Chains A and B, each alone.
Chain A
Amino acid sequence: AQSVSQHNHHVILSEAASLELGCNYSYGGTVNLFWYVQYPGQHLQLLLKYFSGDPLVKGIKGFEAEFIKSKFSFNLRKPSVQWSDTAEYFCAVNAYSGNTPLVFGKGTRLSVIA
């Protein structure tokens, strides 16, 4: 069975600091990888996704993630966070083929302070 581990439960950063949120997955086959964000009181939104090709994926709002197959990792990065990035971030994975359900990590809460 697939599983996703997000190592940080709560991260607190000052504005302009760099961000890296860890995500590791467990699955024997080829996967699709996703990062979702949930701003306070809002829907889950897709930040970025990886299916194949260039392992460095760029998403919305200046976020990027790098797929490292040998490490089963898909870490999320942003060079300079803003107060508006305060949210909960979820890493998710599903099998590459077939309309299979996403498996989510437990989430990382990011608090950005001025």
Chain B
Amino acid sequence: DGGITQSPKYLFRKEGQNVTLSCEQNLNHDAMYWYRQDPGQGLRLIYYSQIVNDFQKGDIAEGYSVSREKKESFPLTVTSAQKNPTAFYLCASSQSNYGYTFGSGTRLTVV
């Protein structure tokens, strides 16, 4: 079945650590996105990529980094510069402007 796989489902980070969230899709979609979901805040865009080897900052990119070396993969690194990283992170992909396919998310907690 085609879809988006996010891993891990739960992730714990110590203060000062960088962690990387994985997002893989087998839908052959050109565009991929990372959103952060906090209670009462909806989904806020972190980074997006419309084509391999290119990506753009979203509304809350500070403290995050991404890469897009392959069409299928769009990993997100939460760096130590992100002061409030505890959140639910959602990855999505799309081929056109007609809506997204979402992954099941990664819940990141700082311990």
Chain A interfacial positions (CB closer than 8 Å to B): 4, 6, 9, 32, 34, 42-46, 49, 51, 90, 92, 94-107
Chain B positions within 8 Å of A6 at CB level: 42
Most buried by A among B95, B98, B104: B98
Chain A residues near B33 (CB-CB < 8 A): 101-102
Q: How distant is the Cα of A9 from the Cα of B45 in the complex, in angstroms?
A: 20
- Sample of 24 A–B contacts (CB below 8 Å): A9-B40, A32-B98, A34-B99, A43-B102, A43-B104, A44-B100, A45-B102, A46-B99, A49-B99, A51-B98, A94-B97, A96-B97, A97-B97, A99-B31, A99-B95, A99-B96, A99-B97, A102-B43, A103-B45, A104-B35, A104-B44, A105-B42, A106-B40, A107-B42
The answer for the CA separation of A106 and B36 in the assembled complex, in Å, is 12
A-B contact count (CB 8 A): 57
Instruction: List the B side residues contacting A102 at CB < 8 Å.
Output: 33, 43, 45, 100
Residue of A nearest to B51 (CB): A99
Q: Which residues from chain A contact B97 at a C-beta distance below 8 Å? A: 32, 51, 94-100
Q: Shortest Cβ distance from A49 into chain B, in angstroms? A: 5
Chain B residues positioned under 8 Å from A44 (CB to CB): 90, 100, 102
Output the nearest chain A residue to B35 by Cβ-Cβ distance: A104
Contacts of B41 in A (CB 8 A): 106
Q: How far is the CB of A62 from chain B (nearest CB, A)?
A: 19
Which of these, B40, B48, B95, B98, contacts A49 with CB under 8 Å? B98
Contacts of A96 in B (CB 8 A): 97
Q: Which residues of B (41-94) have their CB < 8 Å from a CB of A?
A: 41-45, 48, 50, 58, 90, 94
